[in-house]
Chains A and B, each alone.
Chain A
Amino acid sequence: MADKQNSEFDREDSRVRIDAGVGGALRAFIDRIKSGDLGMLPVAVGLMLISVVFTSLNPVFLAPINLANLLFDAAAVGLIALGVVCVLLLGEIDLSIGSMSGLSSAIVGVLWVNTEVPIVFAICGAVTAGILVGLLYGFLRNRFEMPSFVATLAGLLALLGMQLYILGSTGSINLPFTSNMVRFGQLMIMPAWISYSLALLPGIAMIYLGLVRTRRRVAANLSPPSTRVLCTKAIVLTTALVFAVYYLEQGRGVPWMFGVFVLLVAMMDYALTRTQWGRSMFAVGGNVEAARRSGINVRRIRMSAFVLCSAFAALGGVFAAARLASSSIQAGTGDVNLNAIAAAVIGGTSLFGGRGSAWSALLGVLVIVAISNGLTLLNLSSSLRFMITGAVLAIAVIVDSLARRSRASAGRA
């Protein structure tokens, strides 16, 4: 066995400590944290703090029914944050996501309710508008080297203007309560058996894919990952998910809207980590010139990021309209912009580009929505809510900057 170990490609250098087994994985994890690679830690700590504080102030916070509401709220902002992750990975930013979501909800309202276009086409129209806006930002960035900060700040105002224009003098359109769209946004809950199956799925997929990977690595004479670590991770994950579903089922259950959001996050995660396009995104975010010289079409990558961001913002706007059962001039204004960006950053996507993951949108949005939900339960005025959310965003960015500095000194980019 020892001889075989030595002949593996990646186990020849005696300077590398081999972290085998569960203990080794734990040690590697602590090393990563110390070197500034925080991963999910800030989110875990944040969620824990939030639950303790808000539950002690108002026990309703942790009630299953409230958590289901929280998940309904999370889907819309989460989708927008998912788009933000794409632009942040490139080191760009989109400040107009709030206006984009508002515009898209207005488009859906006008097309569907006022001109009676079928709902599917109305939603397609809204997402198409998002794609067009993304193409425009990408064009401005590529053709004129216009900083995305400025281009999207201009877009923030322009899109808001467009939203007001198409809503006209009424200012608000109510969506029919009996429609599937509003039911999707307010009522539709997964049947219990689906929720439980979905809770089991990640663990099973993890073990299956892990075993396939182990077999291929052994066949290719590379060191296999530890099966015990894999199983431990899968068991912990499955237990947590099943418990979460069980707890939610005590109240209303898991909203379909949240399920769709998680599905999109999983798809984005695959695209970002397992395809050439995703690799190119990280490369452009890390070092544009290096990416260009490796033959990557930087312009196309940028374009795709802006398009995805605006399209997700548009879809998030549709979700928000469904949630509120209305398209109004209020939609997408206020703290939507900052909440979405804060969610991405809190989840661990760096503002400086080249680091992050699709899951950060999911994790970050839980923190953000938990805070705003908790503050609402406390009956705090929106003035206080804005101040507190602003402070949370500032803290998230400080954590990001500090982690980046510590990564630099630990030589981890």
Chain B
Amino acid sequence: MTKVEERKSRGELLLRLSEISKQFGAVTALEDIQLEVYAGEVVALVGDNGAGKSTLIKVLSGVHQATTGKIEYLGKEVAIDSPAKALDMGIATVFQDLALCENLDVVANLFLGHELNPWRLDEVQMEVRAWTLLQELAARIPSVREPIASLSGGQRQTVAIARSLLLDPKIIMLDEPTAALGVAQTAEVLNLVERVRDRGHGVIFISHNMDDVRAVADRIVVLRLGRNNGVLTAENSHEELVAAITGATDNSVTRRAARQTIPPSE
């Protein structure tokens, strides 16, 4: 891909959410959410626990349906009513709980629901694709024929990420992809996010780790109590980010910081 093409593909609007609301009975998990994702950018979704990040991801991946609101994908209004629909459209997700089948091996998990040759599974071809994909991610998986249950948390995470890349989606959503990872693997995932972005995919990235977010995000969308609470960039200071997440400049984080910089005089 030449530089010009790359720049051209960046900036195409992939996904636009307007006034998305989601209610679980009496609880409003999301209210009037706006979100835009362009090709070739990383949108970080941050917010405190219960801010609605994972709910939003689940709405986009077809696990939940929005109560009201409009989803436009590639310029057309769409309804994402099942996970299969989202995958077919080109929206792949790495869920927080990874959603892997522990009784199946790595190859089976990677290709689950999209096996090659449905009436006579092409195991050899699938195994080759699996190894190629895992090598691209610089993954350390000892054997792709072992059940997922025998893998460590980090290895499972890598498998889940590899699976999301399998169908060459337009948008990849990663829900806390670095939570279970070691130092080197976290760096590897961040590299991966950048590589995926450079290939012209849109990436939605959820993390509680502000360093990770600031390292890769082009835009940082803040959710608070199920509502939009500002859009920041990596240029904004850490304090501004925390203030947007917690909703106040005077919050438990700043109070704690203040306590530690000025020890109580006795």
Query: Is B187 an interface residue when CB atoms closer than 8 A count as contact?
Result: no
**Contact call A293/B95, Cβ cutoff below 8 A:** yes
Give residues of chain A (1-45) contacting chain B, Cβ–Cβ below 8 Å.
9-10, 13, 15-16
Chain B residue nearest to A407 in the complex (CB): B149
**Contact call B121/A412, Cβ cutoff below 8 A:** no
**Contact call B102/A287, Cβ cutoff below 8 A:** yes
**Contact call A295/B84, Cβ cutoff below 8 A:** yes
**Contact call B83/A293, Cβ cutoff below 8 A:** yes
**Contact call A411/B149, Cβ cutoff below 8 A:** yes
**Contact call B101/A290, Cβ cutoff below 8 A:** yes
**Contact call A294/B99, Cβ cutoff below 8 A:** yes
**Contact call B128/A274, Cβ cutoff below 8 A:** no
Which B residues lie within 8 Å of A213 (CB)? 124
- Tell which of A167-175, A214-222, A250-258, A390-398 binds the partner: A214-222
Query: Is A115 an interface residue when CB atoms closer than 8 A count as contact?
Result: no
- A413-B124 contact in complex given A286-B103, A294-B83, A295-B84, C-beta closer than 8 Å: no
Query: Is B143 an interface residue when CB atoms closer than 8 A count as contact?
Result: yes
Query: Is B112 an interface residue when CB atoms closer than 8 A count as contact?
Result: yes
Q: How far is the CA of A9 from the CA of B119 in the complex (A)?
A: 26
Q: Which residue from B93, B101, B121, B150 sits with its C-beta under 8 Å from A283?
A: B101
Which A residues lie within 8 Å of B121 (CB)? 274-276, 279
- A275-B120 contact in complex given A13-B143, A412-B150, C-beta closer than 8 Å: yes
**B58 to chain A: closest CB distance in Å?**
9
Query: Is B104 an interface residue when CB atoms closer than 8 A count as contact?
Result: yes
**Contact call B113/A280, Cβ cutoff below 8 A:** yes
Count class of interface residues, chain A: 35 or more
- A10-B113 contact in complex given A287-B101, A413-B103, C-beta closer than 8 Å: no
**Contact call B140/A13, Cβ cutoff below 8 A:** yes
Q: How far is the CA of A138 from the CA of B132 in the complex (A)?
A: 39
Query: Is A227 an interface residue when CB atoms closer than 8 A count as contact?
Result: no
Query: Is B114 an interface residue when CB atoms closer than 8 A count as contact?
Result: yes
- A291-B140 contact in complex given A275-B119, A286-B103, A355-B103, C-beta closer than 8 Å: no
**Contact call B124/A217, Cβ cutoff below 8 A:** yes
- A9-B128 contact in complex given A275-B118, A275-B119, A296-B113, C-beta closer than 8 Å: yes
Chain A residue nearest to B132 in the complex (CB): A9
**Contact call A290/B124, Cβ cutoff below 8 A:** no
Q: How far is the CA of A71 from the CA of B148 in the complex (A)?
A: 39
**Contact call B100/A287, Cβ cutoff below 8 A:** yes
Known: A290-B99, A295-B88. 15 other contacts (CB 8 A): A9-B127, A9-B132, A10-B143, A16-B143, A275-B119, A276-B115, A276-B118, A276-B119, A277-B118, A279-B112, A283-B101, A286-B102, A287-B102, A294-B87, A413-B149
What are 7 A-to-B residue pairs whose CB atoms are below 8 Å? A9-B128, A16-B143, A222-B128, A274-B121, A279-B108, A286-B103, A293-B93
Interface residue ranges, B against A (CB under 8 Å): 61, 63, 82-84, 87-88, 93, 95, 98-104, 108, 112-115, 118-121, 124-125, 127-128, 131-132, 135, 140-145, 147-151, 163
Interface residue ranges, A against B (CB under 8 Å): 9-10, 13, 15-16, 213, 216-217, 220-222, 274-277, 279-280, 282-283, 285-287, 289-297, 354-355, 407-408, 410-413
